[in-house]
Chain A
Amino acid sequence: MDLLNTVERVVRRTLEGKIDFVAQTQVEIITYVVLSIATVVAFLAGYIAADLRISLAIFGVAVLGLLVLFVPPWPYLNLHPVPWRAPVAPSLEFSKAE
């Protein structure tokens, strides 16, 4: 049972893909900025090249890039973990004080 629980926890954690708070803010801002720039660049490139496929290709590459870079919990998205206080043994402290 212990092994099963461990496996379940690992799988859940991998699928959930938690990232730290700093990365969450950055990912959201970068998504906005990249998509806005990609829209403008795709439009201009397609207009200049007179080919709608170029527009859609540029936009598609931008979306795919964002998905690859930001969806899996890559290690660079977890560089700012929240520092937890070191664990203390409350029962021990309590008994000492008594």
Chain B
Amino acid sequence: MHSSWNRVSTIFSHASTALMVLLGLVAATSYLTLPSVEPGNIEIKNVHVYVSLLEAYKPNEAASLRFDLDVDLRPLFTWNTKQLFVYLVVDYLDGPNTTLPSSSTGAGEGLVYSKRPGNEIVVWDRIVTREREARLRIEAGKTKYTLRAVGKKFFGAEPFRARLMYNIMPWVGILSYGTAAESKTAMDWPRPKSV
């Protein structure tokens, strides 16, 4: 503390420690008081399945959706919310695998699919940076990203559901996730429309 330089050093040293404590308090408080939202409404209006010709040598089915969305995410904007990442997730199981001969899909034939993997695909998203934009009301919104059938086709797969998820990005602290809406009725996969 005898010289100016020494005092600058000491003050900044203490200040950085105190700043870390301050930000730690902010992060801990906002983690302990995480906001939640009232469940909103998400409804899939229309499923459009078509044969994707992106890779013509192995045609795959692809799908796009139209959905209605009504959810109020304004409670998520606290003093420590920088922005929200809102995304629509479609959960579905693979359709019956058509690339295998039908005789080999039965049980006891050696190839047994005891566990079919579920798919969680993000089909639409939005970044909300302001509280006044957090009231989401979308009618017949179109998905941004296509769903692609992993097992070549959708028809015959189990009905699917969609859910709206959010990710709170804070100024300080850790990311937190939540579900804002879930579709009440499961949708069936239609047959593909001819291109």
Using a CB–CB distance below 8 Å, which chain B residues touch chain A?
A: 1-5, 7-8, 10-12, 14-15, 18-19, 21-22, 25-26, 29, 78-80, 171-172
The range of chain A's interface size is: 20 to 34
Distance (whole angstroms) from the CB of B112 to the closest CB of chain A: 55
| Contact between B11 and A66, CB atoms less than 8 A apart | yes
Interface of chain B: mostly helix, strand, loop or mixed = helix
The answer to whether residues A71 and B79 also contact, given A18-B2, A42-B22 and a CB cut-off of 8 A, is no
Partner of A70, one of B11, B19, B21, B171: B11
Distance (whole angstroms) from the CB of B24 to the closest CB of chain A: 10
Distance (whole angstroms) from the CB of B173 to the closest CB of chain A: 11
Distance (whole angstroms) from the CB of B99 to the closest CB of chain A: 54
Interface-facing stretch out of A23-31, A79-87, A89-97: A23-31
| Contact between A72 and B4, CB atoms less than 8 A apart | yes
| Contact between B171 and A19, CB atoms less than 8 A apart | no
| Contact between B14 and A43, CB atoms less than 8 A apart | no
In this complex, what residue of A is CB-closest to B170?
A: A52
